[in-house]
């Protein structure tokens, strides 16, 4: 049993634990300093770094109690720790795209300061319990921010929430332990088992949350870089290279499954005149609205890509010709009735033409074949007057009933039209 007492009074030496926490936060701030050199444009990382420096100053102030007046150590140290937690919450708000809560940041700190000052003459046990409760109230909003994001948050950010929750649990244990065993809380530097475990657990958990936040920022940057590499920045659609890769993948998958695959090329009619007459800002608005219109009518399995300036592509798994024509015509009719406003508040209307190619089960269509067939059908739609949907039929007897006057089934074998070579980016007859 002497060994057990040694564990409680020697191995959990409070000054040693405090030094360990200080060293941990120093390592974290050094890591953040190196990270900021590469990610100086990330405001959430700068805010979290400030929080770490402020919290580190708070720990130093508490540890320097023998060299500082008691009131300064208590008020300054605890208030700085509260301020550090507040900066953590602000950093999370920045990362999650929430507006900065100026009042929500300063008001808790303003209320905490007189509360901490009032605790100065209290016995250490009561002060420890009250301060632990105050820390919990400061940490809970940060946890709530991440939980409201739910599964949409980065995995590392969910780790931050778990670490902060562990800190809350340890602080609650510390508050209860100091309340139930006031005799063990007579000196901050005493070797109390309950105080030592709770102190170590709480602030090591906060330290772990700091490292988790750094990982979350790097994870967010990696996801954004991947997004930039695969998607069009203006419309949010897949870019040309990713669309081509998805088309190849779907062709291979549908060949295995024995199902048809529809490929639709859509081109906005007279788009150049929209840019020339109304400016590129209006042209960009047209592209964004068109992409939004199409996405609202797609299944989860469908793929939308931007293959050129005003040209888009649809990949429709398990879809035959009539199904693709029905969807394309629905999009065409919605686009025909939509508009954007220019700088003078006038409506700018636009239309779209579409060409469809279908890979039937068992054929050996390649992405190049699909692009070629859909391109011929699109060209036929342009030549026939635009604002139309046409289907390229590989077989001469593959004729589908039109869906309204603008819809025409285009049979390449019976058409004398030969489209001219198309420039890179899908530029052809507009």
**Cα–Cα dist 366/157, whole Å:** 42
Checking if the pLDDT of 39 tops 70, the result is no
pLDDT of residue 33: 72
pLDDT of residue 156: 85
Task: Give me 114's structure tokens.
Answer: 């007189």
pLDDT of residue 236: 86
Mean pLDDT of 3-8: 40
Instruction: Report which listed range, 78-87, 119-128, 418-427, is most confident.
Output: 78-87
The b/e string for 259-270 (b: 16+ C-beta within 10 A; e otherwise) is ebbbbbbbbbbe
Helix extents (H) in 231-320 = 240-257, 271-278, 280-295
Checking if the pLDDT of 93 tops 60, the result is yes
Q: Which of 161, 113, 111 is nearest to 140 (CA)?
A: 161
pLDDT of residue 379: 93
**Is 405 exposed, middle or buried, given 0-12, 13-18 or 19+ CB atoms closer than 10 A?**
exposed
| Domain architecture of the chain: domains with CATH | 2-230 (1.20.1070), 240-414 (3.30.70.270)
In Å, what is the CA distance from 155 to each residue of 150, 204, 216, 220, 373? 10, 20, 7, 10, 43
More confident site: 375 or 24: 375
> Residue 37 — pLDDT band, cuts 50, 70, 90?
low
Checking if the pLDDT of 414 tops 70, the result is no
**pTM (2 d.p.):** 0.62
Mean pLDDT of 171-175: 88
The b/e string for 153-184 (b: 16+ C-beta within 10 A; e otherwise) is bbebbbbbbbbbbbbbebbbbbbebbbeeeeb
Instruction: Report which listed range, 22-36, 221-235, 291-305, 405-419, is most confident.
Output: 291-305
Share of the chain above pLDDT 90, in %: 32
φ, ψ at 385 (rounded to 5°): 125, 0
C-alpha 87: how far from its chain's center? 21
Checking if the pLDDT of 84 tops 80, the result is yes
More confident site: 168 or 218: 168
Q: Which of 5, 8, 70, 13 is nearest to 190 (CA)?
A: 13
Tokens 């967010």 belong to: 220
pLDDT of residue 102: 72
Share of the chain above pLDDT 70, in %: 82
**Cα–Cα dist 142/140, whole Å:** 5
Checking if the pLDDT of 423 tops 80, the result is no
Checking if the pLDDT of 402 tops 70, the result is no
Mean pLDDT of 294-317: 92
Checking if the pLDDT of 428 tops 60, the result is no
Mean pLDDT of 125-152: 87
Contact predicate 239/306, CB 8 Å: yes
Checking if the pLDDT of 12 tops 70, the result is no
Contact predicate 48/213, CB 8 Å: yes
Checking if the pLDDT of 370 tops 90, the result is yes
pLDDT of residue 351: 92
pLDDT of residue 380: 92
**Is 98 exposed, middle or buried, given 0-12, 13-18 or 19+ CB atoms closer than 10 A?**
middle
**Cα–Cα dist 255/257, whole Å:** 5
φ, ψ at 329 (rounded to 5°): -70, -35
**Cα–Cα dist 313/356, whole Å:** 10
pLDDT of residue 244: 92
Q: Over the chain, what is the mean pLDDT?
A: 81
**Cα–Cα dist 290/379, whole Å:** 20
Tally Cβ neighbours within 10 Å of residue 318: 16
More confident site: 141 or 24: 141
Residue 190 contacts by C-beta under 8 Å, 6 or more apart in sequence? 14, 184
pLDDT of residue 40: 64
> Residue 52 — pLDDT band, cuts 50, 70, 90?
confident
pLDDT tens for 284-298 read 999 999 999 999 999
**DSSP-based helix, strand, coil % in the chain, nearest 5:** 65, 10, 25
Contact predicate 411/357, CB 8 Å: no
pLDDT of residue 409: 45
Long-range Cβ pairs for the range 249-258 (8 Å, 24+): 250/303, 250/315, 250/317, 251/359, 251/365, 251/366, 251/367, 251/370, 253/317, 254/317, 254/318, 254/359, 254/361, 255/359, 255/361, 255/362, 257/318, 258/361, 258/362
More confident site: 187 or 173: 173
pLDDT of residue 266: 96
Contact predicate 294/314, CB 8 Å: yes
pLDDT of residue 317: 93
Q: Which of 208, 206, 205, 201 is nearest to 17 (CA)?
A: 201
Residue 352 contacts by C-beta under 8 Å, 6 or more apart in sequence? 266, 267, 268, 269, 290, 331, 332, 335, 336, 387
pLDDT of residue 390: 93
pLDDT of residue 6: 41
Q: Which of 355, 370, 359 is nearest to 417 (CA)?
A: 355
pLDDT of residue 430: 47
Instruction: Report which listed range, 150-154, 229-233, 402-406, 408-412, is most confident.
Output: 229-233
Checking if the pLDDT of 381 tops 60, the result is yes
């Amino acid at each position: 049993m002497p060994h057990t007492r040694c564990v409680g009074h020697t191995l959990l030496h409070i000054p040693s634990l405090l030094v360990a926490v200080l060293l941990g936060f120093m390592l974290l701030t050094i890591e953040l300093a190196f990270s900021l050199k590469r990610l100086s444009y990330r405001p959430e990382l700068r805010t979290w770094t400030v929080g770490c420096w402020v919290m580190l100053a708070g720990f130093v102030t508490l540890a320097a109690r023998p060299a500082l007046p008691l009131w300064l150590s208590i008020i300054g140290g605890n208030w700085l720790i509260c301020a550090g937690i507040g900066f953590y919450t602000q950093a999370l708000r920045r990362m999650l795209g929430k507006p900065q809560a100026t009042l929500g940041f300063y008001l808790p700190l303003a209320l905490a300061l007189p509360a901490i000052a009032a605790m100065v003459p209290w016995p250490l046990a009561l002060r420890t319990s009250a301060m632990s409760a105050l820390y919990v109230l400061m940490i809970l909003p940060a946890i709530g921010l991440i939980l409201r994001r739910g599964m949409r948050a980065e995995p590392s950010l969910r780790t931050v929430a778990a670490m902060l929750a562990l800190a809350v649990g340890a602080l609650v244990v510390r508050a209860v332990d100091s309340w139930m065993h006031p005799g063990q809380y007579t000196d901050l530097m005493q070797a109390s088992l309950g105080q030592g475990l709770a102190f170590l657990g709480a602030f090591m958990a906060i330290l772990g949350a700091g490292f988790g936040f750094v990982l979350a920022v790097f994870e967010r940057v990696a996801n954004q870089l991947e997004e930039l590499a695969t998607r069009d920045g203006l419309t949010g659609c897949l870019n040309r290279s990713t669309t081509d890769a998805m088309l190849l993948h779907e062709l291979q998958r549908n060949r295995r499954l024995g199902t048809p695959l529809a490929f639709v090329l859509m081109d906005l009619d007279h788009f150049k005149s929209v840019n020339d007459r109304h400016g590129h800002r209006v042209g960009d608005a047209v592209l964004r609205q068109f992409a939004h219109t199409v996405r609202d009518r797609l299944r989860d399995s469908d793929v939308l890509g931007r293959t050129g300036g005003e040209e888009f592509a649809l990949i429709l798994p398990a879809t035959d010709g009539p199904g693709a024509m029905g969807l394309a015509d629905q999009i065409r009719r919605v686009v025909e009735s939509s508009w954007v406003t220019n700088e003078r508040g006038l409506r700018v209307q636009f239309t779209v033409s579409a060409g469809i190619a279908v890979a039937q089960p068992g054929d050996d269509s390649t992405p190049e074949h699909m692009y070629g067939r859909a391109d011929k059908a699109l060209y036929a739609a342009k030549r026939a007057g635009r604002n139309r949907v046409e289907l390229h039929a590989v077989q001469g007897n593959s004729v589908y009933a039109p869906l309204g006057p603008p819809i025409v089934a285009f049979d390449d074998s019976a058409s004398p039209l030969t489209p001219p070579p198309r420039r890179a980016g899908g530029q052809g007859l507009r």
